[in-house]
Amino acid sequence: MGQLTLAFIGDIVGRPGRSMVKEHLKGLREEFGIDFVIANYENASHGFGLTSKNATELFNAGVDTMTGGNHSFDKKEVLPLFETMELLRPHNYPDATPGTGKKVYEVNGVKLGVLNIMGHYTMPMVDNPFICAQKAVAELKEEGCEAIFMDIHAEASSEKRAMMMMFQGELSGIIGTHTHVATDDFQISEGTAYLSDIGLSGCRDNVIGMEAKIPLQRFLTGVGGHFNVPNQCKKILQVAILELEDGHCTSARKLKVFDDGRRIETEAWLES
């Protein structure tokens, strides 16, 4: 058992998101004594999936492992990367799907399990996320993991909250991704940190990190199109930092770092 400082970055959207990670992450690691960084990659390459080049870019910027979601396989070149890089995809994809959604890392003498689960509502057809998570958590504990972190990639906040109710007191942290819109419910309950959605890292002055033209066209006419990540925009980096002791979260904070030099820090509330 031991102490561990863990950081999580949600959906990194395109070049603007990657640029904020490259500019700020190494400094944040030093400032807060972060031992291990998890980031969600599913929108990292122009908003859809991940290329080998961009994966290398993010690892070089200070990310240790990356989780995915419904866009994990948008770039087919990602498939062999599951064998050569520290990449996860939602664990409740069928067993025949390339890659895995859970991995174990040794950090500061602590065995850390990282689990990537995807919800059901509006998502691709996958296995039951709750049953899959129960089995995966049991397996991680059998492997000796003192700390376990889950990225729950889901549209519905009810699914994310239900996952918290099922695992509070058992996991170190459960943080949601996918909607790109940050929620204001960061808390620690029974040693488990929970946040429904951490929000995107990337452009903050448009529609979920994408140029507004096509989303507006779709809402006004019902006719969609290809979403594009702007090359020029106002940017944000959103990071959750968890302090763990003996596998339990004792304190947590959320950082919002803006490209204009501002920084907002909020503490997770502690449930009594």
| Catalytic residue positions, numbered | 71
The DSSP symbol for 74 reads S
Contact of 21 with 63, CB cutoff 8 Å: yes
Q: Which ranges of 14-152 would DSSP assign to H, the alpha helix?
A: 14-32, 52-60, 81-84, 129-142
3-state secondary structure of 29: helix
Question: What are the counts of helices (DSSP H) followed by strands (DSSP E) for the chain?
Answer: 6, 14
Q: For residue 185, count other CB atoms closer than 10 A to its CB.
A: 16
The DSSP symbol for 145 reads -
Per DSSP bridges, beta strands 192-195 and 187-189 are: antiparallel
CA distances from residue 161 to 164, 167, 176, 241, 266 in whole angstroms, order as listed: 5, 10, 9, 20, 20
Question: Which two three-digit tokens encode residue 43?
Answer: 């929108």
Which of 205, 105, 81, 91 lies closest to 137 in space, CA to CA? 91
For the four alpha carbons of 81, 86, 89 and 92, in that order, the dihedral sign comes to positive
Per DSSP bridges, beta strands 102-107 and 110-118 are: antiparallel
Contact of 209 with 181, CB cutoff 8 Å: no
